[in-house]
Amino acid sequence: MSYAVTLIPGDGIGPELATATQVVLGATGIGFDWDVQSAGEATIATEGTPLPDRVIESIRRNGIALKGPITTPVGSGFRSVNVGLRQALELYANVRPARSMAGVESRYDDVDLVIVRENTEDLYAGIEHRVGPDAAESIKIITRAASQRIARYAFEYAVRNGRRKVTAVHKANIMKLSDGLFLESAQQVAAEYAGRVEFEDRIVDNMCMQLVQKPDLYDVLVLPNLYGDIVSDLAAGLVGGLGVAPGANIGESAAVFEPVHGSAPKYAGQNKANPTALILSAALMLRHLGETDAAVAIEDATRGVIADGETVTYDLGGTAGTREFGEAVAGRVRASV
Ligand code: NAD
């Protein structure tokens, strides 16, 4: 059997990273029927938009997409492709694992966190206005439906991936109604998983301090949009930065997997950029498809190549190219499956 997957190579370094990632995925022995869709800078020139409808239709049809980074043209009036996809496909959960890797310089060597961020409401609902010349108001929306949906996603992720604990992060001591509703919703969902997954909650400021001091105490975190945005970068920083950070945007009927970093235009076409984040995003895609063994094989192979240090890209202190790194990971995957 093979999986039909939309592939958006993206701009800048995106196409090279996508090719390296396809080589790694091919090494798992799983079949992929790639539906390649261009989006971004190239389609602005030819189709007048960075996100043509055919791209959204392809993802709707296949239910799954692997996406390279896309350049957001400054001041052009085009909305970000990422925001467009999130809205069109109702990708309500943003998932970012942050796990230490030997060979990537960072403060700790035992961090293993998964940040699950609500992606549709909170202060990012975009409801804000000026109140006269000297004041502005931004409205924070929290609903039980969206809060329960994200909490359930976090618990299901924990169950599927053998994680022990979910921590809900909030500021319900101050925002008693909005964050209070988020916390209450998470507690209601947690009750359904009692005995299977532990549950606790933390106030967001305390959470930040604890993550910096004792990240090993935490496992899966579930957060409203704004705290999730901030804490996921904090967690990426704990394991060596955005360059190796994978991500997923999940909806009820579609999911888009992509690296956290951008299109790094200055390295485009030079066989220089590090494909780790896209390769690990592809591993997240395999987990989502239920292909856990293949996902683990790719994660272990990537970690192995980085720990070994002989075939790593410039940003990890090596001289290997994108292609060579991808081939080294693929070689290890092939040997392990
Ligand atoms: P960037 O992530 O592209 O680059 C930041 C720095 O990290 C640069 O020095 C870059 O060379 C380096 N870098 C990034 N990815 C790398 C990799 N895989 N290997 C080695 N080095 C890497 O961020 P930026 O410069 O702020 O943004 C460039 C463009 O990307 C902008 O147009 C921005 O809007 C877009 N962007 C897109 C996404 C996305 O599509 N998800 C995310 C962030 C930024």
Model confidence pLDDT, tens digit, residues 67-112: 999 998 776 677 788 888 988 999 999 999 999 999 999 999 999 9
Atom of ligand 1 nearest to the CA of 275: 18
Q: What is the DSSP string of 51-98?
A: S-HHHHHHHHHHSEEEE------TTSSPPPHHHHHHHHHTEEEEEEEE
The CATH number assigned to the domain with range 1-94+243-337 reads: 3.40.718.10
The catalytic position among 11, 92, 171, 267 is 171
The CATH T-level fold of domain 107-238 is: Isopropylmalate Dehydrogenase (3.40.718)
On the question of pLDDT at 325 being above 90, the answer is: yes
Report CA(231)–ligand 1 centroid distance (Å): 19
Residue of 277, 62, 286 whose CA lies nearest to 160: 286
Token pair for 38: 């261009």
Is 262 touching ligand 1 by the criterion CB < 6 Å?
yes
Q: What percent of the chain has pLDDT over 90?
A: 90
Q: How far is the CA of 71 from the centre of ligand 1 (A)?
A: 8
Q: Using DSSP, state whether 284 is helix, strand or coil.
A: helix
Residue range 110-116: mean pLDDT, rounded: 96
Q: In this predicted structure, what is the pLDDT of residue 328? A: 98
The pLDDT of residue 2 is 94
The ranges assigned to domains in the chain are 1-94+243-337, 107-238
Is the CB–ligand 1 distance for residue 155 below 6 Å?
no
pLDDT digits (tens, 9 = 90+) for 43-72: 998 999 999 999 999 999 999 999 999 998
* Strands 255-259 and 136-138, sheet pairing: unpaired
* Gap between the Cα atoms of 208 and 196, Å rounded: 26
* pLDDT reading at 322 higher than 80: yes
- Rounded distance from Cα 242 to ligand 1 centre (Å): 9
Tell me whether domains 1-94+243-337 and 107-238 share a fold. Answer: yes
